[in-house]
Structure 1
Amino acid sequence: MSSRLLINRSIKSVGFGNSAARRFNSSVSSLKVQSQAAKQALLQGVSQNRSTTLSKKASLRYNSPEGLDQVFPFAYEIIQTRSKSLYLQASELEKQIAQETNANQVQALKQQREALLVEAEINNPEVQYNFQMNQINMEVPVYRHLAKQKWSKYEMIKMIQRFETLHVIPDTLPTINPEVEVNVQFPNFVNKWVENGEILSTKVTSRAPIFKIQEFNEIPQGQKYTILVIDPDTPDIKNNSFSTSLLWGLTDIEVSLNNPLVHFDSRQLIDYVPPVPEKNTPTHRYVVWVFRQNIDSPPIQSNSIEDGVQRNRFDIRAFVKQHNLQPVGGHVWRNAWDRFTEEVRQDYGLPAGRVFSKERNSVRL
């Protein structure tokens, strides 16, 4: 029995509501391998003549390991039986969710239900194949689970490592517990996402970046985000130290699981000003902070910058506290003064940059 037929039968037999049935049916196709040749090879083994996924002649002699073709059908049947049992349990939770009135209890039941749906498909060979081929639908819990697992094993660890070694935390915010993946790309850096901590030319960063915010959990209706791009390495001559500048602020951002790109029509708190480090200053860190806005909080007003928060000497901690923002992700890149910096200043109508001494003098600046 095919896994698609098995899922459909389990839905009908336990009496899912119409909306729930539609959600399950709409996700079934994304759990299947679309290529019939690849699906046949995946579920029935590869013949001794050729592989459906290897095109080079030197690789065409591949065939399934000895004995696997005989054992696999029994293992697959066990997976299907287990999957049906888990779908039955998920359907019971669906009924409880429909009857429950306590918001906290509903949230707990939804988490249990999602865990069951993940477990029901995690060992499905078609799901694993689709994930490896990046043919996924992030609305489906099992793909979100696999994507988060992959992210947390490398990209999340690297992001935290860069934030700690570059002292982004605690220089900007005290700490971070990443929940979303944040990617940054510049129009002058086509088809390449910026690595955390990468040093870029000021020519590359002269145009406003593109952001991608990938959630790994179901996004509540009405959830919005705020993005702040800051420079914590702005020279503060008066105090012989450094201060924080706000380069760009976006608010009321909406993204979806399958469309994580931030649109440029998001409301701006302040216009983008590109990184223009001054000569002989240390390499500047440019930090992107992504926040979840509290659904019950009023929207951040566009004139809040003029009313109390300046681009220069920007107090990010006070701003986050004032607007009840929850930091959920971030990114950092670096810039130093280069031969393009003055050209970028002229393009944006900025004053000429200062030139600092390479050696610290005993007299305060």
Structure 2
Amino acid sequence: MFALRRLQPLSVRLVRTNTTLQAASSTKAKAPAAGASQTADAPVKKRRVRPLKTRRPKISLEHPREWNRPLAFGVLPVYDEALKIIKADSEALKVEIQEVQASLEAAKKASEPNTEAIKEIEEKLQYLEIQSEINFPEVQWKCANGMADLSKAVDRHIIEKRWRKEGALDLLMERIHQMHVVPDVLPDLHPSFDLRVTFPEHHDQNNIPEVDVKSKYGFVEPGVYLLPEQTVEPPKLYKDVFHTDERLYTLIMVDPDVPDEAINSYQTFLHWLQPNITLSAISPSMISNTNTHTQYIAPHPQKGTPYHRYTIMLLPQKSHIDVPVVEMDQRLGFSVREFMAKYDIDPSTGGGAHMWREVWNETVSGIYRDVLKLEEPRFGKPPKPDRYADVKGKNRYML
């Protein structure tokens, strides 16, 4: 008779070295020699785990880096020759720039300056400045890695072209029109610069949604859903403006989806208002001093209602305007159209915009209780009419 013997499984331990992963067996292939000490039960010394460094350090205006050639001289002669041609072309354009600058100064010093001619010369000068720098690899590399200097015409041109051509503007306009922000909030909108909104990032652990207050702020894609606890504090706003002169803008944030029971429709709630914000290409990217007028009120979508469209706009002003602070009892029923008509604001001439969506959760109850000091309303679908209410409770067999 044959006897069956259960074999012990061979445990394999992976050991990480500098170059490869090696497989080490916990049992020896050969039997130990006689008299050898048994070390199988001895504690295994743990190796120190070194933290892995990121392959690429952070690159930004706060952490700048210099551009390095991807290829050394002589490795690829055609690349070296291309750089020589780009440099020669840039030098020729710079000579032409000096000639155009001289003609511009002469046109301005004329006894009767021709405004249209001066404007044409300035546009030609800006075009030449862009063309003299745009083909250099280091210029493109810096703009692609967050180190663009918007005081330079070439950097402004590259950043604006990327915003208009690579999908960011298209996505914004798609969400604004698909979700009917135009025409529900504005009759028309033509953004002229990139407005980015950041809120605390959301972390979902053990299926419990929560916001890590220590986490960094993250950029919000237009039209996405956010949680009310993410938007309790005002967002941080960033911009890429492409005009060098200082212009005034009005910041407005509204919710056009508050139920109006009186007319069985919706009305607008004003969450935020800040007029006379000065912006230009050389001003800081982060917009500051935005909560000194009509202060920010956190979004609070009512229970039982569909999603709410929270819309932020930076609308261009023609001059300085004097706007009174909107009191709490005047925020509900705010009309963006009437505000623009009163202060001569035309959103079709430029500006910036952004929007996101929210629905009710338990955080909204705290906003009503602690911030608004109001009883929280609750909405729902009206009950269906009972067609048999008149005959219920009656004997159907008796006249």
Q: What TM-score, normalized by structure 1, do the two folds share?
A: 0.74
- Alpha-carbon RMSD: 2.8
Q: Classify 1:236/1:181 alpha carbon distance in 2 versus 1 (closer, same or farther; 3 Å).
A: same
**2:145: which partner in 1?**
133
The runs of 5 or more residues in structure 2 that have no matched partner are 1-60, 201-212, 387-399
Higher fraction of helix: 1
Q: How many residues align?
A: 303
Which among 296, 307, 319 is matched to residue 339 of structure 2? 319
Q: Classify 1:80/1:346 alpha carbon distance in 2 versus 1 (closer, same or farther; 3 Å).
A: same
Distance 1:337 1:93 in 2: 63
Distance 2:216 2:270 in 1: 25
Q: Classify 1:47/1:109 alpha carbon distance in 2 versus 1 (closer, same or farther; 3 Å).
A: closer
Shift of the alpha carbon at 1:98? 3.5
Cα deviation per residue 1:43-75 (whole Å; 9 max; x = unaligned)?
xx3269xxxxxxxxxxxxxxx5x4424532542
**2:132: which partner in 1?**
120
Give the SS at the match of 2:141. helix
Q: What amino acid is the match of 1:127?
A: V
Distance 1:362 1:213 in 2: 52
Q: Classify 1:74/1:205 alpha carbon distance in 2 versus 1 (closer, same or farther; 3 Å).
A: closer
Give the SS at the match of 2:362. coil
**1:54: which partner in 2?**
none
- Say which structure, 1 or 2, has more relative contact order (CA 8 Å, 6+ apart): 1
**2:230: which partner in 1?**
204
Which among 142, 147, 151 is matched to residue 163 of structure 2? 151
**1:26: which partner in 2?**
none
Q: Classify 1:280/1:107 alpha carbon distance in 2 versus 1 (closer, same or farther; 3 Å).
A: farther
Distance 1:157 1:299 in 2: 32
Shift of the alpha carbon at 1:80? 2.7
Distance 2:383 2:355 in 1: 27
Q: What TM-score, normalized by structure 2, do the two folds share?
A: 0.68
Q: What amino acid is the match of 1:271?
A: Q
1:339 aligns with 2:362: yes
Distance 2:300 2:170 in 1: 29
**1:46: which partner in 2?**
72
**1:84: which partner in 2?**
94
Which among 68, 76, 85 is matched to residue 75 of structure 1? 85
Q: What amino acid is the match of 1:321?
A: A
Q: What amino acid is the match of 2:365?
A: E
Distance 1:163 1:264 in 2: 26
Give the SS at the match of 1:229. strand
Percent same amino acid among aligned pairs? 24
| Counterpart mapping for 1:90-239 below 5 A | 90-96=100-106, 98-99=108-109, 101=113, 106-153=118-165, 154-186=167-199, 190-220=216-246, 223-239=247-263
**1:329: which partner in 2?**
352
The runs of 5 or more residues in structure 1 that have no matched partner are 1-29, 49-63
State whether residues 91 and 132 of structure 2, in contact with CA within 8 Å, keep that contact through their aligned partners in structure 1.
no
Shift of the alpha carbon at 1:103? 5.7
Q: Classify 1:105/1:124 alpha carbon distance in 2 versus 1 (closer, same or farther; 3 Å).
A: same
Distance 2:96 2:169 in 1: 30
State whether residues 286 and 333 of structure 1, in contact with CA within 8 Å, keep that contact through their aligned partners in structure 2.
yes
Q: Classify 1:314/1:104 alpha carbon distance in 2 versus 1 (closer, same or farther; 3 Å).
A: farther
Q: Classify 1:236/1:265 alpha carbon distance in 2 versus 1 (closer, same or farther; 3 Å).
A: closer
Distance 1:360 1:107 in 2: 66
